Amino acid sequence: MTQEEKRLIGKAVAQINESVQSDIRIMEVCGTHTHQFARFGIRKLLTPKIHLVSGPGCPVCVTEPGYIDALITLLKRENVTVATFGDLLRVRGSSGSLEEQKSLGRKVITVYSPEDLLDLAKRSTDQSIVFAAVGFETTAPLYAALIQIVRKENIRNLFFLTSLKRMEPAIRFILGESGVHVDGMLCPGHVAAITGIMPFLPVTIEYHIPAVICGFEAMDLITSISILCRQITGEIPVQFMNTYKRCVSDAGNPVALHLMNKVFRISDVSWRGIGMIRDSALILNHHYEEYDASRRFGLKTESAPAAFPDGCECGKVLIGEKTPDMCVNFRCLCTPDHPIGPCMISSEGACAAYYGVGGEKI
């Protein structure tokens, strides 16, 4: 960050702090935004009257316990290997975690790219490889493209257990049903780069709440917070804005959207800490159901009753009702080395961000 950028940010922060005279709550619904706030120390720059709260923007954090249980059920089969990205390993279901299963000798493999997954399937023809496909609209096109490659190359032993979620229904739940008060919303730039602006327009049009699609640099964040504060305080009219136009077009990414629409269909799904949200899942459609692990192995992924360990406040953190530092376990019993809840486990979790990721401070 240049000295000129720091000067401009400092000037903007001073104007924000001077203009906000009463408490306001701004929600970010993107795990990367949460971590960028921590990276740049933005919370400490702003007046205590501005409360930055996190929404359900961490895909691993909102993955239901029943999904983990289904993966563990698969591991009890002799000829099944579960492949996953690293964040999911320590997240607990009602009967333990994938990390625990791996320590017991079950076949759990961490992959780092689609190429890793394809290579694993090709060299393990005696095994059924089940990939834990977790994410939002940001990663759904990647999985869709991967599934098409699997079909094209006639790979018969690779299956997908999906936990892909849609952001718009979750935002509607937060604003309409959760009972949580939100004065303004920072909308996720990564998701919007895929979907375009349409899923986020209802925040302003239907709920009359200021909303800004925001990028991830310090200037992006401060500029967007300034716009929200000016709208919330009545300095300028409430209107939806996109400050991330260098990456987000109104219509989104047509190639990515086509891939998603070709491979997936919309369904209902339970979110950990929230419950069932209608039309919030992307699942494989009937053209690609042969790659659906839930159908192939007769799995059920209904929500298990124990969403969080006793005393864990992740459920309230995920809907912006509480911040991580309001949890009695935070920094004491719950740390990145010994996490209790998924919000501390995941690299995108709010608790991990609050704990401190280090990095550049303004």
The answer to whether the beta carbons of residues 174 and 56 sit under 8 Å apart is yes
pTM: 0.93
How confident is the model at residue 95, as a pLDDT? 86
How far is it, in rounded angstroms, from Cα 273 to Cα 270? 9
Q: CA–CA distance from 354 to each of 43, 158, 161, 323 (Å)?
A: 10, 37, 31, 9
| Residue 199 DSSP symbol | G
How confident is the model at residue 308, as a pLDDT? 81
How far is it, in rounded angstroms, from Cα 342 to Cα 362? 29
| pLDDT per residue as tens digits for the range 343-358 | 999 988 999 999 975 4
How confident is the model at residue 17, as a pLDDT? 97
The tokens for 340 are 């209790």
The domain locations on the chain are 3-59+168-242, 65-166+252-296
Domains 3-59+168-242 and 65-166+252-296 share a fold: yes
- What single string gives the DSSP state of each residue in 233-297? TTSS----EES-TTT--TT--HHHHHHHHHHEEEEEEEETTTEEEEEEEEEE-TTSGGGBHHHHT
Domain 65-166+252-296 belongs to what topology?
Answer: Rossmann fold (3.40.50)
The residue assigned the tokens 């339970």 is 270
Q: What is the DSSP pairing of strand 96-97 with strand 92-93?
A: antiparallel
Q: Which residues contact 290 (CB under 8 A, 6 or more apart)?
A: 296
Q: What is the Cα 192 distance to its own chain's centre? A: 13
Q: Is the CATH code 3.40.50.11750 the one for domain 3-59+168-242? A: yes
Q: Which of 61, 79, 144, 69 is nearest to 314 (CA)?
A: 61
How far is it, in rounded angstroms, from Cα 74 to Cα 7? 55
The answer to whether the beta carbons of residues 54 and 34 sit under 8 Å apart is yes
How far is it, in rounded angstroms, from Cα 344 to Cα 61? 9
Q: Among the residues of the chain, which ranges form H helices?
A: 3-19, 31-40, 42-45, 65-75, 98-103, 114-123, 140-152, 167-176, 189-195, 201-205, 218-232, 254-263, 293-296, 314-318, 342-345, 350-355
How confident is the model at residue 360, as a pLDDT? 57
How confident is the model at residue 306, as a pLDDT? 55
| pLDDT per residue as tens digits for the range 112-133 | 999 999 999 999 999 999 999 9
The answer to whether the beta carbons of residues 186 and 212 sit under 8 Å apart is yes
How many CA within 13 A on the CB side of residue 108? 25
The residue assigned the tokens 């699609």 is 213
Q: Which residues contact 284 (CB under 8 A, 6 or more apart)?
A: 147, 160, 162, 263, 264, 265, 291, 292
Q: What is the Cα 50 distance to its own chain's centre? A: 23
Residues of the chain with pLDDT under 70: 302-307, 357-362
